[in-house]
Amino acid sequence: MKQESIAPIENHRRREKGVLVYPVYSRRSGGLSVGINLFPGKKTCSFDCPYCEVFPFSTNAGFSLEQMEEDLRAVIADAVERNIPVKDICFSGNGEPSLSPDFPAAMKLAGRIRDELVPSAKLVLITNGAGLLQPGLFSLLADAAAPSEEGTNSLALDIWLKLDAGTPGWYQLINRAEVPHDKLVAKIKEFAAFAPFTIQTMLCSVDGKAPPPDEAQAWEKLTVELAAIATGKIRKVQIYGKARPSPEDPKAQALPVAYLEERAAAIRQALAASDISTEIFVPSVEVYP
Ligand code: SF4
């Protein structure tokens, strides 16, 4: 499949046409992000979020490392030729990247291409975290995310980890995942002791209801707890709103920007008031309505 040229538009929809590599202008990356899609044939995910942007599709396209390499090199060469800085190479695509058996090799290959062609670009994994329950993936991600030090071959993988819910009740509404909430949270806490990551939280309403107050409090407590376990390791907290259409619209709906800002202010305050505020690093909190 021929790679897509860079267009000054949000072009996530191209993922559903079987492409393996798709350049997008990303709000959260702050510029050009080169997406890698490990599931060109159909959506593959262990969560079933009602706000998910992947529309039902199926293609005959398959994934291969050779095609990924060819397309990734071509997209990066195009950007470099046009003096467009590549902010990151990002595994997201049509589902949960860590579910693909090709993910470990694809991640290493993308890291090598990044080092060769655009060494200042980040290598990003957007994940729902369920893969951490598998010991092999847990170690793979912990090693890949370890900060790069002179003389090491770390990929310096930048993990953006989904944490949409502090309570099992809201988790069942917002993520509809089979992995029990307590198991997932326990594993994320364990991971936080080993590797840096960014927390990503979607705030939207489900069936017309915003997260209830006890959910907001539980999420805040959990976020502070994670930051305390991993002082210096939680890089950022990204709160984002529903900005794009989903196949289940209007089940999940955008909440007012003021609500997102209120929740951001509350977590900033909670982090500043916590024990970690006396340590060297408190994660920044960003809002993407
Ligand atoms: S985890 Fe991501 S890909 Fe999976 S259902 Fe949720 S939003 Fe969609």
What pLDDT sits at residue 148?
66
Residue nearest to atom 3 of ligand 1 (CA): 95
Cα 161 to middle of ligand 1, angstroms: 12
Q: How far is CA 31 from the centre of its chain?
A: 16
Q: How many CB atoms lie within 10 A of CB 111?
A: 18
Q: In the chain, where are the structural domains located? A: 12-288
The answer to whether 141 and 157 have CB atoms below 8 angstroms apart is yes
| 55-103: pLDDT as tens digits | 888 888 899 999 999 999 999 999 999 999 999 999 987 999 999 999 9
Mean pLDDT of 274-289: 79
Residues with CB under 6 A from ligand 1: 45, 47-49, 52, 54, 95-96, 128
Distance 234 CA to ligand 1 centre (A): 22
Tell the residue nearest (CA) to atom 6 of ligand 1.
49
Report the half-sphere exposure of 3 (CA within 13 A, side-chain side).
25
Distance CA 248, CA 56 (A): 10
Ligand 1 atom having least distance to the Cα of 202: 7
The reported pLDDT for the residue numbered 274 is 83
What are the tens digits of pLDDT across the range 202-229? 999 999 999 999 999 999 999 999 998 8
232: left (phi over 0), alpha (psi -120 to 50) or beta: left
Check if the beta carbon of residue 3 is closer than 8 Å to that of residue 19: yes
What fold is seen in the domain 12-288? Answer: TIM Barrel (3.20.20)
Band of the pLDDT at 12, cuts 50, 70, 90? low
Distance 219 CA to ligand 1 centre (A): 19
φ/ψ (deg, to 5) at 42:
-165, 160
Buried b (16+ CB within 10 A) or exposed e, 182-194: eebbebbeebbeb
- The one-letter code for the residue type at 4 is E
Whether 2 shows a pLDDT value over 50: the answer reads no
